[in-house]
Amino acid sequence: MPNQILTQEEIDALLSAMERGDVDLDQEGKKDIEAAPYNLASQNILLRDHFSALEEVYDKFAGILRDMLSSALQRPMAVEFVSSEMIKYQEFITAFSSPTSCNVFRMEPLIGNALLCIESNLVFSLIDCMFGGDGKPSTQAREFTQIEQRMIKKFALDISTAFEHSWSTIYPVKIGLRKTETKPAFVQLVPPGDIMVVIVFSIKSQEFSGNFHMAIPYLMLEPIKEKLSPKYLREKDTGNSWSPQLKELLKNAPVTIIAELGRTQQTVRELINLQVEDIIKLKAGPEDLISISVDQVPKYRGYPGVIKGNRAVEIAKLINSNGGQK
């Protein structure tokens, strides 16, 4: 009689059923069964064999998120892939302390939910940068405020947007944030014994660094594992450059435009004596061109005016990268 070897899917399903109590172990039948050792490290071998093509997703995702954060925080940022592994959900979620930014999201048309966990030290650093700070980590342990939780949600949406774009050339998905939680113990994503594909990324600047973790149930990816194989991607590759896709993504990135009417200098005494209805004279005449900056970089010269009751600026000249005008 040939040896009966369980597949990886059958092993995972059996382990999950035993932990939930769905399997009634017959004591009489157990005496003739010999236990066989099972190497849990084989899970990571399976990850490398079937999902190694996800490394392309990781690289694209890191590049997109790096550019998004650098633009939003107005400073050079680095996003790097750290590691990937397959572990049980309970082992993954219990590794985090409270508070941790836990964000449940869907990846339609895949069935189920995935999880984004942002470590608290990274959360505090990113929020500090948004308020104009240097992002240096704080040693004070505390819960997130309501304002901080709203800002965390924005970061989570930025990360999910970048993750969605990174999948576009492999298996297009629509990612949507479902809910957020700051206490990891309250996040019941899947049964404790279910296997998760966990990907770790780091975000770094000159002042701070921290990690965030993407956790996707193995059963969520299993139906498309063939499409994630290196062979499938090589056959599908059209040779298109990643650069055009990045340019399309950056076209939707928000920028701040400031029209500066003029400048002047005053002494501290003059500033202290300023009163309501006082007039400050600028070093610019009513017919002079004003400077228009995009994200603090002078890009245009123009004339101020009013259109339909709203203040407006008419572009008159472009400023070259070397400071010249045309």
Q: Which residues pair with 260 in a beta bridge?
A: 291
Q: Cα-flanking dihedrals φ and ψ of residue 141, to 5°?
A: -95, 125
**Of residues 300, 295, 289, the one with CA closest to residue 323:** 300
What pLDDT was estimated at residue 2?
45
What pLDDT was estimated at residue 199?
92
Mean pLDDT of the chain: 80
* Residue keyed to tokens 């990643």: 242
Q: How far is CA 67 from CA 203, 208, 246, in A?
A: 12, 17, 9
Instruction: Transcribe 134-183 into DSSP letters.
Output: --PPP----PPPHHHHHHHHHHHHHHHHHHHHHTTTTS--EEEEEEEES-
For the chain, the domains span 44-250, 257-275+282-318
Task: Write the Ramachandran bin of 135: left for phi over 0, alpha for psi from -120 to 50, otherwise beta.
Answer: left
Residue ranges in the chain whose pLDDT is less than 50: 1-3, 27-31, 38-42, 45, 238-240
Is 158:103 a contact under the CB 8 Å cutoff?
A: no
Q: Which residues pair with 113 in a beta bridge?
A: 106
Cis ω before 109 (30° cut-off from 0): yes
pLDDT digits (tens, 9 = 90+) for 74-108: 888 999 999 888 899 999 999 999 899 999 999 99
* Segments in the chain forming alpha helices (H): 8-20, 27-30, 42-51, 54-73, 89-93, 120-130, 146-166, 218-221, 230-236, 243-250, 268-272
HSE-up of residue 214 (Cα within 13 Å, Cβ side): 23
HSE-up of residue 193 (Cα within 13 Å, Cβ side): 12
pLDDT digits (tens, 9 = 90+) for 295-323: 888 888 888 888 888 888 888 888 876 65
CATH classification of 44-250 is 3.40.1550.10, yes or no? yes
Helices 120-130, 54-73: crossing angle, 10 deg rounding: 40
State the DSSP code for 131. T
Is 250:231 a contact under the CB 8 Å cutoff?
A: no
Is 298:320 a contact under the CB 8 Å cutoff?
A: no
**Of residues 192, 21, 204, the one with CA closest to residue 92:** 192
Q: Which residues pair with 83 in a beta bridge?
A: 200
What pLDDT was estimated at residue 230?
61
Distance CA 127, CA 211 (A): 15
CATH classification of 257-275+282-318 is 3.30.830.10, yes or no? no
pTM over 0.85: no
What pLDDT was estimated at residue 116?
95
